Chain A
Amino acid sequence: MKKMLELTVNGQQVNLEVEPQRTLQEVLRDELGLTGTKRGCDDASCGACTVLLNGKAVLSCNILALDARGKDVLTVEGLAKNGQLHPLQKAFIERGAIQCGFCTPGMLISAKELLDKNPKPTELEVREALSGNLCRCTGYAKIIEAVEAASQSK
């Protein structure tokens, strides 16, 4: 039995019918076509599907879509505003923090949550905030650098 789901995604009101067992990740990717949110593990261990739910970073593979009812979801597609890149996106690009790019959306979202709460984090605070987002390409070096650069540009 499908159920009604109303939520805000990247600032837009969305109404749709979903099966109760669907995760937020599945609804974002399969129903709304927001494939920037990646699927890397299905058991809340890689961080590639991280989105902001009412400003808090959550793993969208680990949340039922219906639990997001009435809430505000931000995915990587919603980071840039009016054609302007978010400072984190800009820093990731300029610092070479993106290689294969599969972990990038989740990294950006986790980093955004950090900077929203703590605009001037220490290196250790950055590392702690991103420790749930796995990356196999960068050794994290340029990602940490990029988040620090973005925090200074704010």
Chain B
Amino acid sequence: MSTYIGKSIPRVDSLPKALGTARFFDDMALPRMLYARVLRSPYAHARIVSIDTSAAKKLPGVRAVITAEDTLKRKFGLLPRLRDQPMLAFDKVRYVGEEVAAVAADTEDIADEALGLIKVQYEELPAVLDPVEAYKEGSPQVHDHVKRNVSFTASVQRGDVEEALRKCDLVRHNTIRCVQTAHCQIEPYGAVASFEEGKLDVWSPNQSPFTRRRALSNLIGLPLDKIRVRRCYIGGAFGGRSDTFPAEVIAGLLSMKTARPVKITYSRRESLAATRTNHAAVYDIKMGVNRDGTLQALLIKGTLEGGAYLSSGTNATGAPGSAVEALYHAENFKYEGTRMYTNKTPSSMYHIQTTPLVMTVELMLDMFAGELGIDPVEMRLRNITGPNSVTSGGSVISSCLLKECIEKTIELSGWKDKYGKLPPGKGIGMGCGQSASGFPLGIRFGSSAFVKFNEDATATVISGIVDNGQGNENLMFQIAADELGLSLDEVALVNADTELCPQDPGSYSMTATFVSGNAVRLAAQDARQQLLTVASGMMEVSAESLDLKDHRVFLKDDPNKAIPLEDIVRMAFLKGTPPLGRGTYIPKPLSPKGWADIQAGKLYGQYGPTYTFGCAVAEVDVDMDTGKVKVDKLTLVNDVGFPINPMVVQGQMESYSGLVLGHVLLEKHEWDGKGRMLTDGLQSFHLPTSLDMPPISSNLMDGDDPAGPYGAKDTGPTGGVSGAIINAIYNATGVVVDALPVSPETLLKAIKART
């Protein structure tokens, strides 16, 4: 029996957060610290003719001014051949808000004043602000070397989908389009950097300290051991803080130049307009089924608008296809994703990026179900993937309780009493979802961890794990305490620090539980084994006959024969064998190239080592006079294997629900004809409030994954909430949504067009 694994215990980090003592980067103040501000491009596309910083440099209180001339003029990108983003623009600017120069001064006010003294001469170039225009022959090129602005392509294919579509009994053709939205972490972006004794320390809210360090090393020109990316509390990420931004490079360079610590804090406006957005996208979907409701063919073309730079757009281009192929089985499947450059804010991966596509596949299933007279529940049960199935991209799905999730969601939501029996304007809908857990991405390493015992029998866990806010740190406490027979307060965690911790992939694309959790488990088990070995010498029995729990080692057959853990630890030190555990975990790449042939843009092979599944039912109330949608209730059931902390997992399911509701009903970036973002504040970019969110019933299956730590899988954007909401709207109004967000105006127009 576990003490902590599987228990809904409060998170260790929630106490400092409730007290207000948890330090985020912007809460830091170092002695002699300077404040930096960035001068940004007012143009979507322009040549930089000259920059004159002389007046700014003379302003009292200004300590340094930098432009691209002070950098190595290297560009950032996930892979060497895909590097396209300068940290301070040179030659050209490619979007409104791009970094052109930066100032470090004694105060933010002085730095701001200095920005106004920098004279930049631009030669404005025609900008391309639409992905369809971008592809046209003769359109302006965002990057000189990229013809027709095709940023990246990715495809997944199985069978002959065109041929299969011709043979299907019924075929549907739907499109869905969505504008840019935002991750919109409540914490604005920024960084603190301090260069001292030849080493650069950096604090910034980021999802992968080791990836960040590698990028900084390349961009600044310091070796890896001279850069230390350090832990701080992080105010949310959602996929929008996985790649490197200019803030940390600029702060680093300014600190190197001034030999003083430098803090740069982005305004809300900068965080929205000059970090990352979610991709705008259009999906064209052809789905073919037979009369028995079985899915025969699925052909999807996705065009994603990526903005000025690639960012994590490689994954974003392929992810929508992967999101569908591991959810529903189609013998004939083709996904082609194309990412286009435009002169807008760069777009990155987003936790719920695949929402519009998955949602529309769900809507089409409901439309077929209606046409064929099949119950929507049955429609799904006939088509979902299951345990031991193989996806179109060649991934083997191991553990899968999707069928059970659907059945339980239907039961808990009272579906059978409601579906088809609701008054006008009320609707109920269902949707499913999945996400890959622990997938190596082809670019990241595994995770390693150490466990060391202190003389008083407390233990310190050293892991690269980073917590963006979702509770990853607590996971490590629970695992280590359980394995080592300690209470939670006898475990300390050193983490997310590239100098002190061994390699970790970072917390993006659902990997913390599966990969980092497994590494900490192995390290703790190694230390535990060492303790049992020492104890076996003290008790003159074999180590195999012993167990460790609740601060004591005891004979499995006679638990009264025991030695306190403290005595064993002391003996281990005396004998010169202090307990030092180590563990490494890396998911096996099951195909030679991992999951993708990036060169050819083809996705094939094992994508995730395992998958997480979920089902949701939404109940909505549509005001037929105004078109306003109110979601009344969400019922969710997820299969995350064995949940290590059910309360934390529920929190993530609810987090995901909030993101989805915002994306589907509220959030929308708008731009003017010059490529300027009009929605760069929280008064114009609308996040869901507590009044928009419904009560959420979040439930978990009692699963068991063969490879996950204790049978656990990562929680992800899994729950099917988008499909549930859109189908509930369809159920209430008969409107087939073809664009996001579903605003009252567009829905009302569609309702009126039907009557």
Contacts of A99 in B (CB 8 A): 236, 469-471, 651, 655
Check A104/B238 contact, CB under 8 A, given A94-B10, A140-B658: no
Q: Which of A1-9, A62-70, A141-149 contacts B (4 or more CB under 8 A)?
A: A141-149
Decide yes or no whether B538 CB sits under 8 A from chain A: no
Q: What is the 8 Å Cβ interface bit string for chain A, positions 12-30, against chain B (1 contact, 0 not)?
A: 0000000000000000011
User: Do B235 and A102 touch (CB < 8 A)?
Assistant: yes
Decide yes or no whether B23 CB sits under 8 A from chain A: yes
Query: Which parts of A15-54 form the interface with B (CB within 8 Å)?
Result: 29-30, 33-43, 45-46, 48
Other-chain residue from A79, A98, A103, A144 in contact with B14 (beta carbon distance below 8 A):
A98
Q: What is the 8 Å Cβ interface bit string for chain B, positions 1-33, against chain A (1 contact, 0 not)?
A: 000000010110111111111111011010000
Min Cβ gap A64→B in Å is: 15
Q: What is the 8 Å Cβ interface bit string for chain B, positions 674-698, against chain A (1 contact, 0 not)?
A: 0000000111000111110101101
User: Do A137 and B655 touch (CB < 8 A)?
Assistant: yes
Chain A, interface size: which category?
A: 35 or more
User: Do A40 and B187 touch (CB < 8 A)?
Assistant: yes
A41 to B235, CA, bound (A): 13
Contacts of A43 in B (CB 8 A): 268, 681-683
Decide yes or no whether A138 CB sits under 8 A from chain B: yes
Decide yes or no whether B242 CB sits under 8 A from chain A: no
Decide yes or no whether A57 CB sits under 8 A from chain B: no
Q: What is the 8 Å Cβ interface bit string for chain A, positions 109-150, against chain B (1 contact, 0 not)?
A: 000000000000001001110111111111111111000000
A85 to B23, CA, bound (A): 19
Contacts of B606 in A (CB 8 A): none
User: Do B10 and A131 touch (CB < 8 A)?
Assistant: no
A34 to B265, CA, bound (A): 17
Contacts of B236 in A (CB 8 A): 99-100, 102, 136-137
A46 to B674, CA, bound (A): 28
User: Do B690 and A100 touch (CB < 8 A)?
Assistant: no
Contacts of B18 in A (CB 8 A): 76, 85, 89, 92-93, 98, 101, 104, 108
The residue in A34, A102, A136 that gathers the most chain B C-beta atoms within 10 A of its C-beta is A136
Contacts of A137 in B (CB 8 A): 186, 236, 469-470, 651, 655, 658
User: Do B11 and A98 touch (CB < 8 A)?
Assistant: yes
Contacts of A102 in B (CB 8 A): 24, 185-187, 235-236, 469
User: Do A101 and B17 touch (CB < 8 A)?
Assistant: yes
The residue in B11, B187, B690, B691 that gathers the most chain A C-beta atoms within 10 A of its C-beta is B690
B683 to chain A: closest residue by CB: A45
Decide yes or no whether B657 CB sits under 8 A from chain A: yes
Check A36/B19 contact, CB under 8 A, given A127-B691, A136-B658: yes
User: Do A100 and B468 touch (CB < 8 A)?
Assistant: yes
Contacts of B718 in A (CB 8 A): none
Decide yes or no whether B654 CB sits under 8 A from chain A: yes
User: Do A46 and B651 touch (CB < 8 A)?
Assistant: no
Other-chain residue from B10, B268, B690 in contact with A144 (beta carbon distance below 8 A):
B690
Check A77/B468 contact, CB under 8 A, given A40-B187, A99-B655, A101-B235: no
Min Cβ gap A123→B in Å is: 8
Seen from chain A, the residues whose Cβ lies within 8 Å of a Cβ on chain B are 29-30, 33-43, 45-46, 48, 75-77, 79-80, 85, 89, 92-96, 98-105, 108, 123, 126-128, 130-144
